[in-house]
Structure 1
Amino acid sequence: MTTHPTDTDAYITIEPYDGPVVVNFHGAIVASTTNALLLKERGYEPVFYIPKDRVEMAFLQANDHRTTCPHKGEARYWSITAEGEAADNAVWAYDTPHEGVAAIAGHVAFDRRHVTIDAG
């Protein structure tokens, strides 16, 4: 487990998730792995980070959207398109995350408002 103390009000932990994780978008399985990471950040819902090599990147379209988190760094985004449906900025990654959260490099996360995540 990695702990990243950021200040007195926030912290981040990252741990391997023990079990399978499947990400579904309108009937299409867009990611499936037994090697997910679970990132917990105080004040936010836990987020699964999936290794990029376990994501069906053909469903994703890179775009120019970027955000910056003071604790993790700069995120870049993708939209998802499958089964005639689309969701903008529904997937993100920190390509060069801050040192304390370096474990999420090479992983992507999915916005739960747009996908179904089954974790066993």
Structure 2
Amino acid sequence: MKAVWNGVVIAESDDTVVVEGNHYFPAESLKKEYTSFSNHRSSCAWKGQAQYLSLFVNGEMNPDAVWFYADPLPAAAEIKGRYAFWKGVKVSE
């Protein structure tokens, strides 16, 4: 699977975990040179608190386009430390 935004591959892996239709990529597959800090947080009743990263690619910012669960609840343990994408990031094979 590949996550692409603004013409650049942000993450690529054959080892994604699909939860609620979202592919969660392993941490080592994320190209961190395209990410920047975000203060945004959200909560899920069964996954816990999500943290976000913004993307900065080819001079354009995509705020809060990446999310992850650093310390998920037990029901979501399989996505700990994995990254998922939205806000126009295309995830495909």
Which category describes the TM-score, using the shorter chain as reference length? Answer: over 0.9
Name which one, 1 or 2, has greater alpha-carbon Rg. 1
RMSD: 0.9
Instruction: Structure 1 unaligned segments of length 5 or more: list them.
Output: 1-20, 41-45
For residue 99 of structure 1, report the CA deviation from its aligned partner: 0.3
Partner of 1:31: 11
Identity value in percent = 27
* Cα offsets for 1:27-72 (capped at 9, x unmatched): 11110000011112xxxxx100000100101101121111111110
Q: Distance in 2 between matches of 1:92 and 1:53?
A: 15
Partner of 2:63: 88
TM-score, reference length from structure 2: 0.95
Q: Distance in 2 between matches of 1:67 and 1:101?
A: 15
Within a 5 Å distance, the mapping from 1:108-119 to structure 2 comes to 108-111=83-86, 113-119=87-93
TM-score, reference length from structure 1: 0.74
Instruction: Structure 2 unaligned segments of length 5 or more: list them.
Output: none
Partner of 1:57: 32
For residue 117 of structure 1, report the CA deviation from its aligned partner: 1.2
Partner of 1:5: none
Displacement over 2 Å in runs of 4+: none
Q: Distance in 1 between matches of 2:70 and 2:38?
A: 14
